[in-house]
């Protein structure tokens, strides 16, 4: 295995991911933490949507959503997911595949409290992924929950986080003439050590 240097160097893929994200935060004009999250439904049909990554922890990637949404139902049923972070400004991407668990404790409470009041009330008001008659109905629900929950609402019981603990992480950087650099970190189980392999572009 060749010695990895520069942007690919390091013995911990989570540290590399955090470093790349930090670089993107200085150059990417909008939502450098946006990920394309992929799930599958009960028929095995894929779904993909953009969500915001809210944490790169020492062992997992974390985002938050409504537990009654379509994505949450698919995450809970399959227990697996994949996502990609792509930064046009850096010409890099990170691909992740792994196992999913809920983040439904103090970390979810803390993140919910860090959101703006309007976003916290919006989490209460939205019945995510379900039919909506019109925007006026949604705004009426926002007014209703504002009157009910006031200016310091608790985290809704149907809203929280998910952690993706990766079995595979691929770091990709653009190269001249489409001769890209790709390194994939793999492990069969979460308790295993990582193996790192350079891939053809």
Q: Which residues are catalytic?
A: 178
Of 122, 110, 129, nearest to 54 by C-alpha is: 110
193 Cα distance to chain centroid: 23
Rounded to the nearest 10 degrees, what angle do helices 106-114 and 117-125 cross at?
A: 120
Backbone angles phi, psi at 178, to 5 degrees: 65, 25
> DSSP 3-state assignment of 155?
coil
> DSSP 3-state assignment of 34?
strand
Contact 93, 85 (CB under 8 A): yes
Contact 127, 68 (CB under 8 A): yes
Phi/psi-derived region of residue 44, left when phi > 0, alpha when psi is between -120 and 50, beta in every other case: left
Tokens of 98: 């792994």
């Amino acid at each position: 295995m060749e010695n990895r240097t520069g942007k690919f160097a390091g013995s911990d893929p989570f540290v590399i991911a955090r470093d790349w994200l930090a670089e993107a935060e200085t150059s990417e004009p909008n939502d450098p933490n946006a990920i394309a999250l992929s799930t599958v439904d009960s028929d095995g049909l894929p779904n993909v949507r953009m969500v915001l990554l809210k944490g790169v922890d020492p062992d997992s990637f974390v985002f938050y959503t409504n537990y009654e949404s379509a994505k949450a139902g698919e995450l809970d049923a399959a227990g697996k997911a994949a996502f990609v972070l792509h930064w046009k400004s850096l010409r890099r991407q990170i691909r992740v595949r792994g196992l999913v668990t809920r983040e439904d404790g103090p970390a979810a409470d803390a993140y919910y409290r860090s959101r703006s009041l309007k976003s916290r009330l919006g989490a209460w008001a939205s019945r995510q992924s379900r039919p909506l008659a019109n925007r006026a109905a949604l705004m009426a629900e926002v007014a209703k929950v504002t009157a009910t929950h006031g200016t310091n609402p608790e985290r809704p019981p149907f809203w929280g986080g998910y952690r993706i603990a990766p079995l595979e992480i691929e770091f990709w950087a653009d190269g001249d003439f489409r001769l890209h650099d790709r390194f994939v970190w793999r492990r069969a189980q979460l308790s295993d050590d990582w193996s790192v392999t350079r891939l053809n572009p």
